[in-house]
Amino acid sequence: MAFIILIFTKLSKEYTNTIVFSIEKVNVPQEDVILNDSVALNITIKTHGYKWLKYYFSKPKITIDFKKDVIKKDSVFVWKKSKTYLENTQFGKQVALLNISPEVLTFRYGINMVKKVPVILHSDISFNPGFDISKHYILKPDSVVVVGPKAVVLNINAIQTKRLVMKDVRKNILETVKLKLPEKNNNLTFSNNEIQVKASVEKFTEGTLKVPVKIINVPEGISLKYFPKEVSVAYYVSLSNYNTISVKDFEVVCDYNKAINNQSLLVPELEVFPKVVKNVKINQQRIEFIILK
């Protein structure tokens, strides 16, 4: 009991001390980078013992709002506030602020570069047999804003996600993925540190169609006879789009200028196909032709 009474007696007394307050900078203009991060204030205050406890258990700091607490002068930001201002905004009524050192703080700054770069998905995603994404992966956001020294930001052309691993997927994808941000450069800031990955997953099936072959770049005065006149085209498509696919959605051509080693053979190439199909391939590899005199 005597010890407890002694503690409360000590804490109820007023003490004067000088402690170092670090600076917390808020609302710094995005285009500016503060160059001297080690600025600190030596502040002498007088208050009761129990008020002092919080300064010993957590690092004391003063918040400086760069929108309203500083002025821009030449190549520096200047902060100059009175003791009364700090008492009213940073300390409680039971804390008496006796001295500030230094009374004026200057913050050197440099010009930041602001650059928008795309996000690249790094993934290892496999689907349950017969399933696949119906369109493409949607990244939200699909780009991030990088702010920092020009020499550093110029070398950043894209930001990759951390590896997204999913196996035997058969349902729609909705995942949050962290971005793989540079670890050693504290002068860079990014608008996001994670993104959301979305994709619609559907049941897929294989389809085949007989598509007519068109010969192009045939010189004037030459008439060709070729076989076969149509080829089988196989593709992978979602069940919801299966009935929307028709022959007119495909175009297979053979370029006469690409005849193989002056032989009577042409290679069919797929020039046009629907965006909703995947793994499109022509089953016929050669088209034979003869020149009619």
Residue ending a domain, among 85, 110, 135, is 110
Q: Taking residues 78-94, what's their average pLDDT?
A: 69
- Looking at the fold, whether 126 and 153 belong to one and the same domain comes out as yes
For the chain, count helices (H), then strands (E). 4, 25
Q: What does the pLDDT read at residue 59?
A: 75
Q: Has residue 171 been placed in a domain?
A: yes
Question: For 23-49, what is each residue's pLDDT tens digit?
Answer: 888 888 877 777 665 677 787 777 765
Q: What is the pLDDT of residue 128?
A: 92
Residue 105 belongs to a domain: yes
Query: Residue 116: pLDDT above 90?
Result: yes
133 and 95 in a common domain: no
Instruction: Answer yes or no: do 231 and 190 share one domain.
Output: no
Asked if residue 257 and residue 209 are part of one domain, the reply reads yes
pLDDT at 6 over 60: no
Q: pLDDT tens for residues 180-230?
A: 998 776 678 899 999 999 999 999 999 999 999 999 998 888 888 889 999
Give the pLDDT band (50/70/90) at residue 236.
very high
Given a cut of 80, whether residue 12 has pLDDT beyond it is no
Do both 7 and 106 map to the same domain? yes
Q: Tell me, what amino acid is at 170?
A: R
> Is 115 part of any domain?
no
pTM, entire model: 0.57
Q: What is the pLDDT of residues 69-80, one digit of tens each?
A: 888 887 788 888
Asked if the structure places residue 77 within a domain, the reply is yes
One domain for residues 149 and 230 = no
Residue-averaged pLDDT of the chain: 84
List, in order, residues 6 or more apart from 146 with CB less than 8 Å away: 114, 115, 116, 117, 153, 156, 159, 188, 189, 190, 191
Tens digit of each residue's pLDDT (9 = 90 or more) over 198-209: 999 999 999 999
Hey, which residues does 234 pair with through a beta bridge?
A: 208, 281
Q: Average pLDDT of 273-290?
A: 91
Residues 214 and 284 in one domain: yes
Q: Of 199, 225, 248, which one is at a domain's C-terminal end?
A: 199
241/238 Cα distance (integer angstroms)? 5
In a domain, 116, yes or no: no
Q: Which of 14-18, 157-161, 229-233 has the lowest mean pLDDT?
A: 14-18
Q: Is the pLDDT of residue 64 over 90?
A: no
- Residues 244 and 272 reside in one and the same domain: yes
**Residue that finishes a domain, picked among 145, 169, 199:** 199
Q: Which residues contact 274 (CB under 8 A, 6 or more apart)?
A: 241, 244, 245, 249, 250
Percent of the chain with pLDDT over 70: 83
In terms of domains, do 92 and 11 share one? Answer: yes
Q: Are residues 143 and 90 in the same domain?
A: no
**Which domain covers residue 214, as residue numbers?**
204-292
Does residue 130 form part of some domain? Answer: yes
What is the reported pLDDT for 40?
79
- Judge if 182 and 225 occupy the same domain: no
259-278 pLDDT tens trace: 866 678 899 999 999 999 99
Rounded CA-CA distance 237/280 in Å is: 10
What's the CATH code of the domain at 95?
2.170.120.30
Residues 222 and 269 in one domain: yes
The reported pLDDT for the residue numbered 139 is 96
pLDDT value of residue 149: 80
Q: What is the mean pLDDT of residues 161-185?
A: 92
Does a structural domain hold residue 66? yes
How far apart (Å, rounded) are the C-alpha atoms in residues 61 and 40?
Answer: 9
Under the banding of pLDDT at 50, 70 and 90, the label for residue 252 is very high
Question: What is the reported pLDDT for 38?
Answer: 62
Give the lowest-confidence range in 14-28, 88-102, 119-133: 88-102
pLDDT for 123 beyond 80:
yes
The tally of domains found in the chain comes to: 3
Averaged pLDDT for residues 109-116 = 83
Residue 99 lies in a domain: yes
The whole-number pLDDT of residue 232 equals: 95
